[in-house]
Structure 1
Amino acid sequence: MAAPLLLSDLYIYPVKSLGGIRVAEATVETRGLRHDRRWLVVNERNQFMTQRQTAAMAHLKVAAAYNGFLLSHQQRPDLLPLFVPFEATPEKTLFVTIWDDMVFAWRARPECDEWLSEALGQPCKLVYMSDMVRRDVERDYNPEGKLVSFADAYPFLMIGQESLQELNGRLAEPVGMDRFRPNLVFSGGQPFSEDAWHHFLIGELPFRAVRPCGRCVLTTIDQHTATRHALGEPLRTLAGYRSEGNSVNFGQNVTGSGQGVLRVGDAIEVLDYKS
């Protein structure tokens, strides 16, 4: 008998491109999991920053704290951990650019900008997306008009543990799931079985797998050392058997249509498959 499909891990990333927090349960909201990627680091030109251009962001770790989270630098014990609340206040605002979108954002406290600028060695700011902001999922794949936070394009990213295990079987040095920054990780099924899912339930909450997630150079950055792999792994290996057009795919971009709570251990039921 095949192993049941179960939600095995949940992750939130309060600040885009910084470390994630593994949680036992998470609340599903309009833009994804509560507190996921609602904060963003921007440069002096108010353009978003990620590990793609600034690999040192991998050194910045995030830990849960009461009504917020703590930022710390794993290589700089002289930088005391910084507390950031889960939500900002609209005292100072500005427009920021993320990919092709320009959105309204609230500024963090000045000490947050100072801490991040010191940690990353360049001037930068920390900004927050309020519930008043409308940022749409990719319009070509979004007939329902779903919204997204500061995530790249979709509210949720889902990956099967079997898919990672299959990839690691092809690599000289296995990689962790943190290279791929999913929100939803499941056990059971065959490697890459999520590619075929369309509508599915996690517990009682409905979701839709929209399209594969195209991967980038961020997957080649070791999240413990902030260094890129000399040969471009695991992206190089993935490109050999997971390419479609100009995209190297791993994981599924997902939208949801309900609100409630997900818990590790929830059963997954696939309702139908992509044609």
Structure 2
Amino acid sequence: MNVTGIFIHPIKSCQRIELPQAEVTPKGFVWDRELMIVDQNHKFMTQRDYPQMAKIRVQLSEEMISLSVPGEPIEAFTFQPHFTGNPLEVKIWRDNTTAIDQGDDVADWLQKALKLSSEQPCRLVRQSPQQIRPVNPNYARRPEDRVSFADGYPFLLTNTASLAELNRRITLNNSVNCSEVPMIRFRPNLVIESEFPFVEDRWKLIKIGGVYFDVVKPCDRCIVTTTDQFTGKRDESKEPLKTLATFRRQAGGVMFGQNLIPVNTGVIRQNDPVQCLEHL
């Protein structure tokens, strides 16, 4: 087994960036979900309610971020994220934390890009290095385990064989032609190639390159998986959720992929070997 995909999402729910290698920190890959868009109540915004967020392309060049919306008549916008803006109390799921506002210019651009009304102002915030957002204590392995603005855990891993099995079942379950679901719909950080569907369900401790990870919880999936990650359009057949529900339903939802917490830091590269050291 080996790594075939490494991805970061600098702004939560916007487009991903594929990398040949990435640095593992305690809260995730460097720059992954470092920034987040919040609404007028300072509550996090995602594709669950704003599928058009999928259209925002994010490009990272050293310390600068460029934003654009391909196919839309809006000019690209480039800015430098910073830790010197006004602190905002923001809410992400059940967590309340302090984040750093990134200013009016990028907020105005995002409001236009997302086609929000004047009654729906939004802001872009960056996670403050002084604010540690802890992992759910029910699944944390150490008191210091932390996470970025990701939904709940520092890393999400998916398996190519699991996706192949899902797509096989989608084809069988649909009487009309149905396109295969691409891995991008699941927004993973790490994609591994294996021959065994859902072998990751049985992992407890793995090693990727020189980095060890606790495999702590399967990932329950939502409507985002039915959203085209370039156009923001929802799948009318409700795939892959419809088929996942036929064979991957557990307490808490339908599952695909595994959440990971790093044990140590390091660098992960494309084609790094993946080893399972402990099984459930």
Q: Shorter-chain TM-score category?
A: over 0.9
| TM-aligned CA deviation for residue 70 of structure 1 | 1.6
1:46-125 superposed matches below 5 A: 46-76=42-72, 78-85=73-80, 87-122=81-116, 123-125=121-123
Q: Secondary structure at the match of 2:108?
A: helix
C-alpha separation in 2, matches of 1:75 and 1:93: 34
Q: Which residue of structure 2 lines up, in the alignment, with residue 17 of structure 1?
A: 13
RMSD of aligned Cα (Å) = 1.2
Q: Which residue of structure 1 lines up, in the alignment, with residue 151 of structure 2?
A: 152
C-alpha separation in 1, matches of 2:51 and 2:71: 13
Partner AA of 1:23 in structure 2: L
1:7 matched to 2:21 = no
1:201 matched to 2:207 = yes
**Residues 59, 75 of structure 1: 8 Å contact kept:** no
1:140 matched to 2:134 = no
C-alpha separation in 1, matches of 2:33 and 2:210: 24
C-alpha separation in 1, matches of 2:65 and 2:276: 34
Q: Which residue of structure 1 lines up, in the alignment, with residue 174 of structure 2?
A: none
Q: Secondary structure at the match of 2:138?
A: helix
C-alpha separation in 1, matches of 2:267 and 2:12: 22
C-alpha separation in 2, matches of 1:91 and 1:221: 33
Q: Which residue of structure 1 lines up, in the alignment, with residue 216 of structure 2?
A: 210
1:243 matched to 2:243 = no
- Select between 186-195 and 149-158 the one with higher mean Cα deviation: 186-195
User: CA deviation digits over 1:85-128, x for unaligned, max 9?
Assistant: 3x412231111000001110001132100100111122210000
Q: Which residue of structure 2 lines up, in the alignment, with residue 255 of structure 1?
A: 261
C-alpha separation in 1, matches of 2:247 and 2:64: 41
- Select between 61-70 and 263-272 the one with higher mean Cα deviation: 61-70
1:272 matched to 2:256 = no
User: CA deviation digits over 1:12-53, x for unaligned, max 9?
Assistant: 000000000000000011111000001000011100000000
Could you list the runs of 5+ residues in structure 2 that have no partner in the other structure? 171-177
Q: Percent identity?
A: 37
Aligned counterpart in structure 1 of residue 233 of structure 2, from 218, 227, 249: 227
User: CA deviation digits over 1:60-92, x for unaligned, max 9?
Assistant: 11123232332111231x31112233x412231
**Residues 158, 182 of structure 1: 8 Å contact kept:** yes
| TM-aligned CA deviation for residue 225 of structure 1 | 2.0
Could you list the runs of 5+ residues in structure 1 that have no partner in the other structure? none
1:177 matched to 2:172 = no
Partner AA of 2:149 in structure 1: F
| TM-aligned CA deviation for residue 227 of structure 1 | 1.2
**Residues 201, 218 of structure 2: 8 Å contact kept:** yes
